[in-house]
Structure 1
């Protein structure tokens, strides 16, 4: 399960009385599928995995499997202590998931070798392909990354640390290991707003990334991805300056806004996915207002880019064609 392209990490919607809104969730998933991501990663960080009970988790994964109906892989988050992570992995397999994203072990920090033991312990519970999420207390070194190759179902590493130098060392160690699985092993950019680091990560051989923006502004997320794929530096810089950098500055004001602000964005887009669960806090009204302005600024910049492209006869960067089901202007795969 080596994935190429833009990756979707759907939100989990909650009702005012603190239940999961599966109808809204199904609509959210369909909107994500319209953007043609390489895979859906459900019940993960953006999907508030740590806030879900076991039955809720099963409902979220099973609903995603039903709605997606084989159109793209459904990868389910699992995590916590080793025994609990195994139980979530088994629940994901029973619910029909195509793969697993293993989140860091709960609270306890260990050595890179200890992390490999944890990964092996969870991976052996099912036959599902498993991606290791490197962040917080789950930190690999080059030897540990190479050791993952000996766990047959581990197919890659998703990086949430943002240390490009350290990530280069992992990628190089794996690719030059001589292991028969080295070339097929995947590396994903999983930073909260990965668009800011896409170019740096692509330079070290990590070309797939997760996009929280895809959850609430798929037109901007797709336009940026297409600009990166096409090597359109002007469009990339423009979208970074006019949308992504202001969005990240707002996101960084409050811990937990990597989820709460994304839910607010979905609401601005006409799909109310409810509040976040504690310990997260919902976006403040003034911050939601600022987000609306940032979205308007980003879309204005995108419209200007497309107008210029039309005048010059160049390929447009607009992601609307993909969302409507029409082919991309440049024929690029998404």
Structure 2
């Protein structure tokens, strides 16, 4: 099998895990969420990752989410899954991803114990080499990757990209200048639009977009403006949309997930507000603030209607 050893570029879709009020995975809503992201032109689907509340999923739920993602995308864009945390579970979920036809997986950091760089190297290497799928390593929270660790991972053909959720620009500069195009570089900050203009000059070509679950056309307009150097539009979207949403996200731990569901609900997507512990739904006052922000966002940046062709 000839595998394309390159990570997806552009705006990456991270569907949620929609739960009913009785805490069951809503398969139909998940399928709709993924189809919406496809219809909006996102370049890849990353299912059962942090936005999909990966740490709270059972094996059965994980399998269902991967099945739905592979089925709905139907080869139109790459499908990546989330693996990580517990090393044994990671290896099991990596095998499930391969068996169900995913294109690769995002390896989340190990749980609780950071480990030394040598331990991190073998953690990521062991998971990446366990299948022939593409692997993206993710540094975030208390996990950062050294040059020596990435030198070892550069020898593993399955490792195609590094995703950054730390925001340490000195480290990002060091890594991108050291490894260049050996890896693709993905921005994985909690609200990646905030930092993307700073990441692009370093060679970051992709980012995970939480707001694309509910206002994807604004995320697209923002990214296109960043790439084209349209600083006026970039600044307008910053002030009217991105920074106000980010201000709410920073109010509580876990809002990086629950705020997505609130945004989708406000924009008419019936996903509900149910999240799994320790994450909590957003508070009533913050929901009301989000409603105001999104109303203003749509007024300032309405979605363009497709041009109808004349027969």
Flag structure 1 segments of 5+ consecutive residues without an equivalent: 176-182, 304-317, 328-334
How far off is 1:297 after superposition? Answer: 2.0
How far apart, CA to CA, are the structure 2 residues paired with 1:326 and 1:149? 48
Which aligned segments of 4 or more residues in structure 1 are displaced greater than 3 angstroms? 324-327
Cα 1:326–1:174, aligned 2, differ >3 Å: closer, same or farther? Answer: farther
How far off is 1:125 after superposition? Answer: 1.4
Q: Which of the numbers 91, 94, 101 marks the counterpart of 2:99? A: 94
Q: Which of the numbers 90, 114, 121 marks the counterpart of 1:116? A: 121
Contact 2:154/2:182 (8 A) holds in 1: no
Contact 2:184/2:205 (8 A) holds in 1: no
Give the secondary structure class of the aligned counterpart of 2:109.
coil
TM-score (norm: length of structure 2): 0.94
Counterpart residue number, 2:168: 163
How far apart, CA to CA, are the structure 2 residues paired with 1:108 and 1:127? 27
How far apart, CA to CA, are the structure 1 residues paired with 2:249 and 2:200? 24
Deviation track 1:63-85 (CA, whole Å, cap 9, x = no partner) reads 11001100100000001222211
Cα 1:77–1:238, aligned 2, differ >3 Å: closer, same or farther? Answer: same
TM-score (norm: length of structure 1): 0.87
1:251 matches 2:249: yes
Q: Which of the numbers 219, 222, 229 marks the counterpart of 1:224? A: 222
For these two proteins, the number of residue pairs brought into alignment is 303
How far off is 1:26 after superposition? Answer: 0.7
Give the secondary structure class of the aligned counterpart of 1:137.
coil
Aligned ranges for residues 18-37 of structure 1 at < 5 Å?
Answer: 18-37=23-42
Q: Which of the numbers 261, 264, 267 marks the counterpart of 1:266? A: 264
How far apart, CA to CA, are the structure 1 residues paired with 2:176 and 2:307? 35
Counterpart residue number, 2:198: 200
Q: Which of the numbers 226, 237, 240 marks the counterpart of 2:238? A: 240
1:15 matches 2:20: yes
How far off is 1:137 after superposition? Answer: 3.2
Give the secondary structure class of the aligned counterpart of 1:263.
helix
How far apart, CA to CA, are the structure 1 residues paired with 2:16 and 2:69? 11
Flag structure 2 segments of 5+ consecutive residues without an equivalent: 1-5
Counterpart residue number, 2:148: 143
Deviation track 1:55-103 (CA, whole Å, cap 9, x = no partner) reads 1000001111001100100000001222211011111112211100000
Counterpart residue number, 1:51: 56
1:154 matches 2:159: yes
